[in-house]
């Protein structure tokens, strides 16, 4: 997707729409593509994310396959948002039954919502995947664009957490060794060649002191670690990306407040001082 990133360098924000009180207008176009899973590519994805289930497709894989569609959507001429500079800060995935990787997927991507945020605007890009006319997969990627808008949005209220539950039930379940080259390896696999993930000089050009890991790689690895100890089927993932992981790093995975139908997991630094990612997995 080098061509898309070249286009992104020249795509400009619609400052008129982004500075007004009303939310900017979202393009109505739906981008559609029929996708056949390449078994070799899927096995490489499973190897990179250490997914061991042969019965169920990794719940993030379809998002990888649909990335070119998502790029087309974000680069839509009628989109008021620039591509470079967006912050991908939340993701939600719903798996409706078993996705059969031997059958064709019809993937549809579109803008689905935009909301005021205390730092600018946040908006959703939705993916729907169908097999045999049935929706088998949904995913929502939420982005933040910092902007000097005239709208007034209250600062987000921190979510209420059960501290006693966290302290009493937290369990360290694994360590991720995030290597220096993981950004380039995952870029080759996913097609996401955002410069902030590749080399020190490309990351510094966009304000990062060094390259950072792809959030979707971190989430995919986290899911794999959690699910290797579960015999249940994952039906939903809700994730918030809190802080970038600089390359190279070591991070810890902590589960807490587990129930029969859900598991909470945080990705934290080795000293447990910072949270990089928070997710809830529902079975």
Number of helices and strands in the chain (H, E): 9, 10
Dihedral pair phi/psi, residue 224, rounded to 5° = -60, -40
- Threshold 0.85, pTM exceeds: yes
For helices 2-10 and 67-74, give the axis angle rounded to 10 degrees: 20
Ordered mean pLDDT values, 10 residues apiece, the chain (283 residues) = 64 82 93 97 97 92 96 95 91 94 97 93 97 97 87 56 68 96 97 94 94 98 94 95 98 95 97 97 97
How far is the C-alpha of 146 from the C-alpha of 122, rounded, in Å? 9
How far is the C-alpha of 32 from the C-alpha of 43, rounded, in Å? 25
- Please report the pLDDT score of residue 229 as a whole number: 81
Domains of the chain: 2-146 (3.10.129.10), 163-282 (3.10.129.10)
In the numeric block, which tokens belong to residue 226?
A: 């959690």
- Please report the pLDDT score of residue 133 as a whole number: 95
Question: Closest Cα to residue 76, out of 125, 128, 137, 132?
Answer: 125
- Please report the pLDDT score of residue 9 as a whole number: 63
- Please report the pLDDT score of residue 119 as a whole number: 87
148-162 burial code (b ≥16 CB/10 A, e <16): ebebeeeeeeeeeee
In the numeric block, which tokens belong to residue 186?
A: 């995952």
How far is the C-alpha of 176 from the C-alpha of 218, rounded, in Å? 9
How far is the C-alpha of 221 from the C-alpha of 182, rounded, in Å? 12
How far is the C-alpha of 129 from the C-alpha of 200, rounded, in Å? 36
- Please report the pLDDT score of residue 152 as a whole number: 46
- Do 205 and 195 meet the contact criterion of CB atoms below 8 Å apart? yes
């Amino acid at each position: 997707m080098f061509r898309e990133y070249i286009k992104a360098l020249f795509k400009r924000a619609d400052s008129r729409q982004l500075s007004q009180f009303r939310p900017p207008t979202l393009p109505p176009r739906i981008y559609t593509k029929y996708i056949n899973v390449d078994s070799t590519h899927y096995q490489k994805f499973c190897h990179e994310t250490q997914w061991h289930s042969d019965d169920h497709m990794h719940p993030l894989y379809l998002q990888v396959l649909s990335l070119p569609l998502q790029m087309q959507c974000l680069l839509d001429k009628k989109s008021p948002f620039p591509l470079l500079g967006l912050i991908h800060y939340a993701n939600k995935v719903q798996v409706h039954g078993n996705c059969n990787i031997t059958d064709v997927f019809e993937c549809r991507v579109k803008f689905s919502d935009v909301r005021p945020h205390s730092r600018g605007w946040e908006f959703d890009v939705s993916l729907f995947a169908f097999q045999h006319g049935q929706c088998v997969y949904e995913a929502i990627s939420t982005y933040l664009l910092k902007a000097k808008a005239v709208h007034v949005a209250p600062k987000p209220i921190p979510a209420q957490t059960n501290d006693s539950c966290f302290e009493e039930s937290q369990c360290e379940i694994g360590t991720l060794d995030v290597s220096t080259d993981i950004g380039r390896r995952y870029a080759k696999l996913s097609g996401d060649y955002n410069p902030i993930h590749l080399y020190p000089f490309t990351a510094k050009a966009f304000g990062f002191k060094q390259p950072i890991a792809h959030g979707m790689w971190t989430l995919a690895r986290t899911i794999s670690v959690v699910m290797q100890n579960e015999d249940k089927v994952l039906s939903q993932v809700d994730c918030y990306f809190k802080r970038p992981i600089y390359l190279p790093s070591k991070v810890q995975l902590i589960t807490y407040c587990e129930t029969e139908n859900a598991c909470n997991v945080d990705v934290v630094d080795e000293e447990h001082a910072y949270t990089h990612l928070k997710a809830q997995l529902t079975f």
